[in-house]
Amino acid sequence: MAAHNELGKKGEDLAAAHLLAEGYAIRHRNWRCGHKELDIVAEKDGMLVVVEVKTRTDTLYGLPEEAVSAGKIRRIVSSTDAYLRKFAIDLPVRFDLITIVTDEDGELLLNHIPDAFYPPLSR
């Protein structure tokens, strides 16, 4: 496995462990349907929580949350719509972001941002 894939897997493992410790139930990890993909789909307090995970070794090229562009948000929302239809889920949805950055000591620092973004309004 390539080094960046290993880092991403380690980040997603850490994010899932964090969510479980906070009382979330993990429904799916790396859910895929065709070209659609969601990092983590969880549930807590009657809400479906879609979590995008961004892991970086440093912030030299920007913060991990800056990698969540308008296009990425549209893809996540579209994937979430497919997920809701596939599993016939009728719950409110929240979109969270978990960022993980390696600090100067090699430790992974996790930041959980609830309601990190909202679905764009349709025209």
Report pLDDT digits (tens) over 50-66: 999 998 887 777 888 88
φ and ψ of 119, to 5 deg: -60, 140
Report d(CA 38, CA 27) in Å as an integer: 11
What are the distances in angstroms from CA 49 to CA 5, 24, 60, 103?
24, 9, 30, 27
pTM (2 d.p.): 0.90
Answer whether 19's CB lies under 8 Å from 42's CB: yes
Give the model's pLDDT for residue 60.
76
Q: Do the domain assignments include residue 30?
A: yes
Q: Do the domain assignments include residue 119?
A: no
Q: Do the domain assignments include residue 20?
A: yes
Which neighbouring-strand residues pair with 86? none
Q: How confident is the model at residue 8 (pLDDT cuts 50, 70, 90)?
A: confident
Name the residue range of residue 21's domain.
Answer: 3-113
**17 SS3 class:** helix
* Mean of pLDDT values over 72-101: 96
